[in-house]
Structure 1
Amino acid sequence: MASSTSAMQSILANPMIRMTTRSRVNQFTIPSVYMPSQRRNSSLRVRSMAEEPKKQPIEPATSASPVTPSAPPPKPRAPKVSTKFSDVMAFGGPAPERINGRLAMIGFAAAMAVEVARGQGVFEQISDGGVPWFLGTSVVLTLASLVPLFQGVSVESKSKGVMTSDAELWNGRLAMLGLIALAFTEYVKGGILV
């Protein structure tokens, strides 16, 4: 009670807010702020939920017209996937990031395996005959990734369980970062990581 009284006294004592005695009681106005008047909408009607709408009379079914079950609605078709080269290879298309991610996953695993087995860094692997292996793997994996896309198969249609298309994208992104981090670390360190 005391807090509400003190709040009211502070409002009335404030010189910026004054009480007006126009047509409404307890109407406060702030002189520096424009407030448009709001008119009541006379066409607005409120109905009670307790009122029941008027019901249409129900016609009894005759035995002459048998009731036939309606056919089930057709299943919604999956949206048509574009098979144009410009759509598949577009910046936001399904192919570029997936192909780069798949190449990075294979490249990161191969680079780490050769580094552990032979003791060669990434740059030594490239200079020691790794370019033909890289090009061959890139061509085979790119073609294997593009063939289903050009046949109209969407990437999301083959996602089930743990092997989802989102998981593949994130694994590819992490492999790309891992391959760059491996090469950068070996360059700064001047030798192999392991």
Structure 2
Amino acid sequence: MATLATFQSALVASHVPRMSSSSLPRRQRAGLMVVRCQAKDGSEEQPQATPQPPKPKVSTNFSDLLAFSGPAPERINGRLAMVGFVSAMGVELVRGDDVVAQLVNGGLPWFVGTTVLLSIASLVPLLKGVSVQSKSDGVMTSDAELWNGRFAMLGLVALVFTEYLTGGALV
């Protein structure tokens, strides 16, 4: 043990330049020895990847999915509004009917059918535990879908309100 301490002090002394006691760090002035070592070539430890935080579990409970702050209501409403706005404008361009006339002239069964189909298609992946954010990348993100749905909801309400005020189709 004494030879190891002698070797370490000789090693440190040979690599530490001579300094006055006032310029030495406080630990060395107190008689403490600082020893540094390096790993041999090829035995360096690879830096470990930082652990990812655990993904929050997505609830597959039907009432949690359809809760006010759940993942389904705004997405379903937004998807329906996007389809509804484009359909309303398309039928208005072709036939010249306003939105209320479209619903009265055979559009109500199409509205109900589309609502049921899109609602089921939106709920099935959520009931399987697939989150909306896991499928979003590039331009088609889940946030972009939310914003497009919000604008479509506003557009559909503005279209109906404008047609009500003018008394006829917008286009």
Normalised-by-shorter TM-score class: 0.7 to 0.9
Q: Does 1:90 align with 2:67?
A: yes
Match of 1:78 among 50, 55, 60: 55
* Partner Cα distance (1:60, 1:166) in 2: 51
- Quickly say closer, same or farther: Cα 1:113–1:51, change in 2 above 3 A: farther
* Partner Cα distance (1:115, 1:51) in 2: 86
Q: Does 1:130 align with 2:69?
A: no
RMSD between aligned residues: 2.7
Give the aligned residue type for 2:98: G
Q: Does 1:100 align with 2:77?
A: yes
Mapping of 1:1-194 within 5 angstroms? 52=25, 54=27, 57-58=34-35, 69=45, 72=48, 75-76=51-52, 77-194=54-171
TM superposition shift of 1:153: 1.1
- Quickly say closer, same or farther: Cα 1:68–1:108, change in 2 above 3 A: same
- Quickly say closer, same or farther: Cα 1:58–1:110, change in 2 above 3 A: same
TM superposition shift of 1:177: 0.6
**TM-score (norm. length: structure 1):** 0.65
Bigger share in helix: 2
* Partner Cα distance (2:168, 2:36) in 1: 90
* Partner Cα distance (1:159, 1:132) in 2: 32
**Same amino acid, percent of matched pairs:** 59
Stretches of structure 1 that go unaligned for 5 or more consecutive residues are 1-49
TM superposition shift of 1:58: 3.9
Give the aligned residue type for 2:134: S
Higher relative contact order (CA 8 A, sep 6+): 2
